[in-house]
Structure 1
Amino acid sequence: MDGNETVDRSESERPERSDGPAGTDDDSSADDDDATDATPATNGAGISSDGDEAPADGDERASAASGGDASMPGVPDPEPQEDDVPEDVQKYARFTKMDGAQYDRVNEFLRDRTYITAREWAIARLCSDFRTETGVEMTKIGENLPDLVPFMTDTYSPQAVNQARSSFEDKVRTAGATFLYGAMCDFFTAEELDDVMYEATEVAKFLLEVEGVDLSVEDELEAEERISSVMREVREASEELRAEDIAESED
């Protein structure tokens, strides 16, 4: 999946989830099966597919006129009205570029380029956007997750939201330590480290753009300068370590 790729979502096939709301790192959970149409199908003779006679239009009108219950057993309740969704959730504009995307496709893209899953990516961003002075609104995030992120189809408990956020944080710290060790152990040359940083920066920028973050030129240059500054410190520390190793070996 690149910046210009559009992922279509089939109406008849729900995405298989590789990460579920159970609050564990097990990727074995999947979405619930699609609900089937509970209204019996009829043929031209007015007979339902299971053999029962379907009521004629006149019978339905007579039943309604007599004050009978107009509801049909097995017919799903109406969808929740938009007013039931919190206002800030209705106005949330992240991930709109992912409309129609399937969870497994998003997850595959992230797995190829990062340590994080689609679940962790989405929830980490939501935890940043719904942070308040007293903490993160995890209940709101979990209850409205399908309305907030197009490729998420299940609601989550607050505990599952917190677990995904914690997993994201742990992976970032672990990836950071791995990168710095690789940079300082003299495994990469300075040019190779530049290539690594360039690729990492491009992936990060792409994810931000998909989220709807509008990076200005000034913000982008500032971020690149911070990264370059850290890289200079890493290289200096690496050179010092190599110099010490050479001095010890000569002694």
Structure 2
Amino acid sequence: MPENTHSSPDGDTTPDRFESLEGAARDRVDDFLRDRVAFTAREWAIARLCADFRTKTGVEMTTVGEELPDLVPFVHEPYSRQAVYQARRSFEEKVRTAGATFCYGAFADFFTADELDDVLYEATEVARFLIEVEGLRRSHADESRSEAQVRSAMESVHRASRDLRYDRCPNCGHELDEDAIESD
């Protein structure tokens, strides 16, 4: 096995994660994350490793828990299967909650298009940084595909928001028909 990798349950090797955080205290990582995202260092590390150790039949949580001290510099003891499940579940719930919060802000017209663009830009930069800290490398094609998915989702949010809010043009007051809505 190459240096700086571990085997997943299905025999694939995964690179060690979080090497750039070697020597970092969990409190410092949590403080950094608290200012930028809704999850903790523990939840982040476990969610990342659960994705790395995912097999055709699911996630091998026992393996993730046993390997945690070897894979994550700021974790010093193994976690039980239940602790791994709980942290991964908490991460997933926080991502869903953050997504709902963002969509509500967009749907409810709390942000202008420029402000939403700023929010997405900042979120993208934080995500890229965290991915780099994890030790992942994404190809330009993968990054472009992800950006296209976000763009498509945001266009859908915009259309749904507009459809909810307007049956008349907000600028001139005339009734909007389906063609006018599509060209907006």
TM-score (normalised: structure 1): 0.61
For the pair shown, the structure with the greater C-alpha radius of gyration is 1
Deviation of the 1:222 alpha carbon: 1.5
1:116–1:243: structure 2 CA closer, same or farther, 3 Å change rule?
same
> What is the match of residue 243 of structure 1?
166
Q: How far 1:118 sits from its partner (Å)?
A: 0.2
Could you give the per-residue CA deviations for residues 209-238 of structure 1, whole angstroms, max 9, x where no partner exists? 111111222221211111111111111111
- 1:114 to 2:37 alignment: yes
Equivalent position of 1:182 in the other structure: 105
User: Contact between 2:6 and 2:16, CA under 8 Å: does it hold in 1?
Assistant: no
> Per-residue displacement from partner, 1:32-81 (whole Å, max 9, x unpaired)?
xxxxxxxxxxxxxxxxxxxxxxxxxxxxxxxxxxxxxxxxxxxxxxxxxx
1:58 corresponds in structure 2 to none
Residues 1:127 and 2:46 are matched in the alignment: no
Matched, 1:200 2:119: no
Shift in CA distance, 153/182, structure 1 to aligned 2, threshold 3 Å? same
Selected match of 1:165 from 84, 88, 92: 88
Asked whether the 8 Å contact 1:92–1:148 carries over to 2, the reply is: no
Tell me what 1:211 maps to.
134
In the alignment, what sits opposite 2:69?
146
Distance 1:146 1:184, change over 3 A: same
Instruction: Give the letter for the 2:58 counterpart.
Output: G
Whether 1:88 aligns to 2:14 is no
Change (3 A) 1:87 1:93: closer
Unmatched tracts of structure 2, length 5 or more: 171-184
Alignment pair present for 1:99 and 2:22: yes
Q: CA deviation at 1:156?
A: 0.7
Cα displacement (A) at 1:246: 8.1
Give me the whole-angstrom Cα distance separating, in 1, the residues matched to 2:112 and 2:120: 12
Opposite residue 178 of structure 1, the aligned amino acid is T
Length, aligned pairs only? 163
Unaligned 5+ segments in structure 1 are 1-85
- Retained in 2: the 8 A contact 1:142–1:158? yes
Which structure's residues are more often helix, by fraction? 2
Cα 1:245–1:167 change in 2 (3 A) is: farther
SS in 2 for 1:113: coil
Letter in 2 for 1:107: D
- With the length of structure 2 as denominator, give the TM-score of the two structures: 0.82
Contact 1:138–1:162 (CA under 8 A) maintained in structure 2: yes
Partner of 1:152, secondary structure, is coil
- Which aligned runs of 4 or more in structure 1 are off by greater than 6 angstroms? none
The DSSP-based 3-state class of the residue aligned with 1:188 is coil
Q: Structure 1 residue 245: deviation in Å? A: 8.3
Computed over aligned residues only, the root mean square deviation of the Cα atoms, in angstroms, reads 2.2
Cα distance in 2, alignment partners of residues 174 and 105 from structure 1: 24
CA contact (8 A) 2:14 2:52 kept: no
